[in-house]
Each structure stands twice: as C-alpha cells, then as structure tokens.
Structure 1
C-alpha cells in the first residue's frame, strides 16, 4: 500500500491506526467554518461547473458554508441547460452573477470545480483548460479525467493546481446530510482528497477547506489514480451493480423455492437495505454474522463461501477493465449513442412492482436478517475488499468504497424507493456501469454459486474460514468511530 502524508497550515492533522497501517486524516465540523477564509486565501471566487448530482449539492453546501466570507460561489452552466431553472430555484441568480456560463465561471474563478458529467468533460476538457488562468486551482470530485487523459495521451496544464475532493456518497446524500445535520457538528458525508499537482503551494489547504465546507466529518487522503480505480470499479461492484445483480438473483431463487412474492422481496431486497445495512453501518460486516443464531450462521457460511468466488471473478474483470482504460473509454464513446438509445428503466419487472407494495406496508421491526441473503451479500462485498487490498489501495479508501458508501449513502435510497432511485440518482458513469455489470453478477451467482449449494455438492469453505479473522473488521471498527453523527433520512 502506498504511504501517504500531508501537511496543512490551517487544519490540524490527526494520525489514526487502521489495522496495521497509520493514516493521516482531517476531522471536519461546522466549528471549523471560521477557518475557511484562511484555507481559501487568495480565492475570491469558486466556480462550480455543472448541476448534476454532485454539482448541485456541492454548490449549495459551499455557498452556505462560506456565507459571511469574501469568497463567492458561482455556478457555470452551458447555454440552454435544462438545469438552469433548478439552479435558480436553489438560489443562484443571473442578476447577481452567481449563475453564469461555463466559460465565465472558468475564466473568472480562482478555484474551478469541474462537476459536469464524465462524458461531457472528456469532450470539453481542452476548451476548459484553455480558459484557466495560471495559478488557478482546478478541482475534481472523481478521477475519471485522469484515466481519460492517460487513454488519449493528454495532460493537465502545467501552471494550475490539480486537486480532488471526493465525497463518499451520491450528491443527494451530500446535500441531505448537510441539511439534516445543520444542528449537529460533524454531520455530513466523509470524503477523500488528493493533491495531483501543486504549483501554488496552496493546494492542500484549499482541498481540505473544500472538504470541510462540504460538511465532511472526516477527510482521508488518496491519489487521483487510486480514487478513480476504486470508485469506478466500486460502483460497478457492490455499491450499485453487484447489489442489483444480487437481489435480482435472490428474488428468483426464493420464488423458485416456493416463497410468495412479498416474502421473496423481503428476504432479498428488504433484508439487505434494512437490517443488514444498518448492522454493517454500526457493527461492521462481522456484526451481521454475530447477529445470527447457530443455524443461521451455518447457512451464512455456506452462502458466503459459494458467493465469494463469484465476487472475486467478476470484480477482477471489472478492475482490469477500469485499470486498462477500457471502462473509461466505454463511458466516453457512449455519449453519442445515448442520444439515439437512452438508458432504459431498470425497475419495470414484477419484482420491483411488488417492492412498491412491500414498502407501502413496511414495518421495519418485522424485517430480519436473512442468513442466506446475508452470506451472499457479504461474500461479494468481501471479494471486492480483498481485490482492492491486493491492488494496494489505502485501507480507509477500501472501507469507504466497498462498505461505508454502500450502507450509509446508497442502500438507503434503494430502501426508500427501489433500485432505480438508487442507481439513477448517481452519475451517468455510475448508471452505465451498474446496468452493464449487474447482469454479470446475477448470471454467475445463478449459474455457479447457487448450484454449488445443491444437496449433492460440497462447498469449499475456505473463503469463510478466512472471514472471521480478516483485517477489514479492525479497519471498519476504526472507521465506525468516524461515521456521520446523523443517519441519512431519505424521503
């Protein structure tokens, strides 16, 4: 694992022990907002380009956190953008200059946050780079552009800072927890940050100020390369694609075993998005196993051992596709195709119609952890964790991209309104990836994992035997101490 460290003249760095490594973090909180003027020294204007899931949330959080300072937050949208009305409704205005064009936001800002879609950014980055003034701080919330530049042999301008702050949750969560935690210090979505290029000497303070202003309770360090690989792969894995494939396969399995539609939906989707996610959030993955009785643990162990190899196989393929640039390029080339063939619905089957009825009658106290569902879900989750660890990602990043973001930010949206509400409130990159890879998980679980559990088959229990003493449990125990003070509430 790459050793990372940083220094800030504004914020106090803390060292935490994460399993057998030490990582440096910044503790956020509203009590630090008075330090933002110092963190953004030399920044008169922050230009947020884009009004997608992250752009809209971050622009509003930054504006609210910087109220009363000399730093102005403006939103830059392309001419004719359909998001202009939404930005105006959120309080940005052409009259006072806080709502402007992309060109003016980029050329007129000392710090420019590029939060447009990855496909659009790949098509416009040269134009945007040309508008940046020397000494500008260029901010990203995703390392996708780094991967694209590597694919095309491009580079960032040599005379600007390049930083990243990457919230560990969808844009709606970034805004929702900021608002829900308005009276609770340290409420929000944790974030990672990266310093890719520092020409002014101010990049670290500005990145950390950005994260604190978004409301991040804790900020962890990473690199842009590490971030985009874990993030793009993770959303195709357990964060979105894998969990979709898992619940589809489980629902059919339970139906085939004779369960009624409501029971099948409750045992698959409701169990994961309800008690399993809540247990993992507070007690870690091992907490799910510990919550089961003797018989349930036996079921969990077998299901886990059958699902883990499938998770390893599919996630290894996903990671290779991301690291090689293939997955990045697939998002770029999808741009023009989507104009003719828009992404279709992913919740039109009878399963998700049943889900609407189950949610309407839901009694949270009556939904329990299904041991088979828990074993499959945790097995695939742990498979992703192991691959990211072997690839050298920071422990905190592995925990965030494989566990915390899933149970604290994303699954609550599927719990509230179904899989489409979760997936389609994410970026185009995430939406494309989830649609592409969910069927792969579904297929291999149905074709390999579940048949391996037949009465005449012997399951290799080695995966489960490695589960109990896995170091991720210590990592999650540490990270649990740094979870948001407020649980997200999705209306």
Structure 2
C-alpha cells in the first residue's frame, strides 16, 4: 500500500473494496496553508500555455493570492503570449518571460508543454534547472521516454507529479465554480519520483490543493503514465468515440432517422448514462433497467466486454512496451508537415448539430443496449487496470470519474472534437489512432453476435459485473464528489 507523510495537510485513509488508501481532501479553506507547503520556494514557474498550462497557472495564481509569485514561461516567439497576457500574465508585472530564463529563476518548475516538446527539449530544460529545484510534471510521459533511453532525471533535483483527472478546460471551469461551491474541482493524483529536499510531498500536495482538487490520491509516476495513456486511448476518448460512431450507424441501419440515432447513441452516453454513473455508479445504472430492458443491457454487455478487454489489453501492451510513446514522438514530427486532421466530419456529427439544437436533457432516452455496450467497454478497462495492479483510486478516476465528470460533458455540449481537442496533443493523437479500432471491432464482432440468436454470449459475465469490487470503490468516491456538475459554456 502506498502511503505518505504530511505535516501541513490532514492525511486520512479511505477503504476502497479490500484496500486502504491515504488521501488528502481539498478545499478553499486550505489555501492559507499553501505558503507552508511551498516553504523554500520563492517562485513557481508554469512552462507552457496549453490546456493544462493555462488552467494551472491561473488556478495557482488565484489560490496563492499574491503570497507567492507564479510566472509563465513560453518559448521565444510563442503564439500563446497574447493569450497569457489577456489572462493577466505580463512582462511588465514580472509574471511572463522566456521559457529557459523563467526555469533558471524558479524553485518549482511545472513543465506543462506538450509531451513531444518535453522529449525534444529535455536536455536543455535539465541544464537550466537550478540545483535543488523541484521539477513538476502532470503526466509521466517523459519518464517513459527516459526509461527507453536508459536515462534519468538529474540527481540533484526533486521530481514530483500532480496529474488532474480531467482536461485543462475542466480544471479551470470547476475551479471557478468552486468560488461558489467549496470543494468543486477536478480530482488529482500525485507521485514522488525523487525527493532530494525532503519537501517533495508537501510541495506536491500544495500544488494539487492549489489547483482545486477535491481529493488527492497517491500513485507512482510510472503507474500514472501507463493508466493515463491507456485510458485516453480507451474509454476516456478513443473508446467512447468509437462506441458512439458504431452505435449511430447501427441505429440508422435499424431504421431510426438521423436525430433519433444521435439521441440513442451520443446523447444517451453523454447525457443520462454519464449522469447516472457519476452519481449512482455503474451498478446504479444497471438497476435502472428491468424486464426486457435488463435483458437487452445484459446481452449488449456480454457482446461488448470481450471486444473491449482484448483491445484495452492491446493498448496497455503498446504503452508499456514503449511503442505508443514512440508513436507520439514520430507523430509530433509528422504534425510539422501534415497538421492535425478533423474528427467530426462524419454524418453523425452533422446530425448532432441539429439534434443539440432541439434537445431537452430531461427527456433524453436511456437506451439499455447503448448502456450495455458502454459499460462493457468501461468495465473492460477497469478489469485491465485491476489485473495490472493499479491502485483503486487511479482505476476509478481514470476509467469512470474522469469520463463522466470531466470529458463526456464536453462531447454532450458540442460534439467529439470539442471534447478531444481540448485535451493534450498526446491524447488527441491517441484518440484518433484508436477510436477506429473500437468502431471496427464492435461493428465486426460485437453487433453480429447481438443479432445472431445462435451466438453463444457469455451472460455469466454479468455475475462478475454485479459482484465486482469497483462498485464499492465508486460508492466511496461518490461521497467525495463535489455537489455541482461541471458547467460547459
């Protein structure tokens, strides 16, 4: 069991299924403790102004309220400079500067540029860090790359991670909502890779609480990147995209018009399914159905789960082997020539523009077959992570909470591109690469099995589902859920 010590915040233990985990609950009442958590830090650098960089810089600045300087560092000629200035970070007030100059002048450096840029510039970044500084990451991608190269972080620095379980837009949006509802925010994991100063844990917890995390749980940097890279390629982004694309076509083939097919696929997943799972868990969703609807859920689940399990295992293997990290780096080079393609040009997303214009959220259909397919793939990811030994909090957040509370609301509001393309470049690439695989296998394997009365669907999978320990994990996590839902403009 992972555990940690803190003298600044209150550590508590929660029981998740058959295990105990140490966590720290957040809240604005703790902001006054942040200077103590950051003892020995005179300046915090936020390097980059992407989805996470912009959100984290603003949240930390607002939480610290002038008690500690937060400075944004950007590469010379960065196109993000004007956006940072518009948010109040300027050269005139000393809160905006050139990337390497800011790194050299800071005690805590939060490296939030793209993963590909981290790989390209890591040697220069390491050279610019002052001895005894703390390097902060929000993703373990760089560790995965260093492992491949047989390289290490500099030995004279702390290396910590705070990884919000949601896109940057959610990190900022829920933080702002927290001004009215204390505790509203995005959960985060933290990891300590190197602790030279003896202050690494306090700084990581202070960083997480300063971002507005309702609760912070512990993991390792390696476990984080394995689960995060896999999750965003599976149920969080790529998987859900492939699911709804395949379902939409299936409903059209069954005779539904464009709007109704969208209602039964996308709107169903991002609306009533996500809302129910967020507050009542997967078992709560299952219990919404009885009679023929329960049978439809069970058959759909039994058809989708094996497909999802095989594919999530493949993704995990690609991440663990380093293949997916290499793929992202190679794609980063291709992007310089080809750019990022669109993902919302299919007929479904055109139909969605019309459907969203006439949508009544209170009357959206809860389709049992759609629910079974979605839950089957989600549980396949959960079981993959259980098998690989990830901690319960990480499994619940990377497989369920992030999907329902942070990501799916964006697809509900404006479609898949609004969800995926508010995420990191690594996530965007992974979603584009793997969504077609989910679409293909569901269409080629799961749906034919559903339609074939002679198909031997393993309904015994539902017994394992009903008895699964993740339901108790989600029940405990739901008790720490903020009382507000994210508001997406």
Q: Which residue does 1:227 correspond to in 2? A: 224
Q: Distance in 2 between matches of 1:163 and 1:458?
A: 49
The alpha-carbon deviation at position 96 of structure 1 amounts to 1.5
1:188–1:486 CA contact under 8 A, matched in 2: no
The alpha-carbon deviation at position 365 of structure 1 amounts to 1.4
Q: Which residue does 1:63 correspond to in 2? A: 61
Q: Which residue does 1:469 correspond to in 2? A: 467
TM-score for both structures, normalised by structure 2: 0.99
Q: Which residue does 1:381 correspond to in 2? A: 378
The alpha-carbon deviation at position 297 of structure 1 amounts to 0.6
Q: Distance in 2 between matches of 1:153 and 1:354?
A: 49
The answer for unaligned runs of 5 or more in structure 1 is none
Q: Which residue does 1:334 correspond to in 2? A: 331
Corresponding residue to 1:303 among 300, 305, 310: 300
1:167–1:174 CA contact under 8 A, matched in 2: yes
Question: Residue 184 of structure 1: SS of its match in structure 2?
Answer: coil
1:192-341 alignment runs, 5 A limit: 192-341=189-338
The alpha-carbon deviation at position 97 of structure 1 amounts to 1.4
1:189–1:484 CA contact under 8 A, matched in 2: no
Question: Residue 97 of structure 2: SS of its match in structure 1?
Answer: strand
1:54-453 alignment runs, 5 A limit: 54-69=52-67, 71-453=68-450
Question: Residue 135 of structure 1: SS of its match in structure 2?
Answer: coil
Q: Which residue does 1:50 correspond to in 2? A: 48
The alpha-carbon deviation at position 465 of structure 1 amounts to 2.1
The alpha-carbon deviation at position 259 of structure 1 amounts to 1.0
Q: Distance in 2 between matches of 1:16 and 1:413?
A: 30
Question: Residue 324 of structure 2: SS of its match in structure 1?
Answer: helix
1:47–1:112 CA contact under 8 A, matched in 2: yes
Listed one character per residue, the Cα deviations across residues 436-479 of structure 1 (whole Å, up to 9, x for unaligned) are 00000000000001111123323121222211111100000011
Q: Does 1:479 align with 2:477?
A: yes
Q: Which residue does 2:12 correspond to in 1? A: 14
The answer for unaligned runs of 5 or more in structure 2 is none
1:190–1:484 CA contact under 8 A, matched in 2: no
Q: Distance in 2 between matches of 1:232 and 1:467?
A: 25
Question: Residue 317 of structure 1: SS of its match in structure 2?
Answer: helix
Q: Distance in 2 between matches of 1:287 and 1:473?
A: 9
- Number of aligned residue pairs: give it: 488
Mean Cα deviation higher: 13-22 or 336-345? 336-345
Mean Cα deviation higher: 235-244 or 465-474? 465-474
Question: Residue 466 of structure 2: SS of its match in structure 1?
Answer: coil
User: Could you list the runs of 4 or more consecutive aligned residues of structure 1 that deviate by over 6 angstroms after TM superposition?
Assistant: none
Q: Distance in 2 between matches of 1:219 and 1:381?
A: 23
Question: Residue 482 of structure 2: SS of its match in structure 1?
Answer: coil
Listed one character per residue, the Cα deviations across residues 130-153 of structure 1 (whole Å, up to 9, x for unaligned) are 011111010000001110101111
The alpha-carbon deviation at position 371 of structure 1 amounts to 0.3
Q: Distance in 2 between matches of 1:315 and 1:335?
A: 23
The alpha-carbon deviation at position 293 of structure 1 amounts to 2.7
Question: Residue 193 of structure 2: SS of its match in structure 1?
Answer: strand
Listed one character per residue, the Cα deviations across residues 195-238 of structure 1 (whole Å, up to 9, x for unaligned) are 11000000000000000000001000000000000000000000
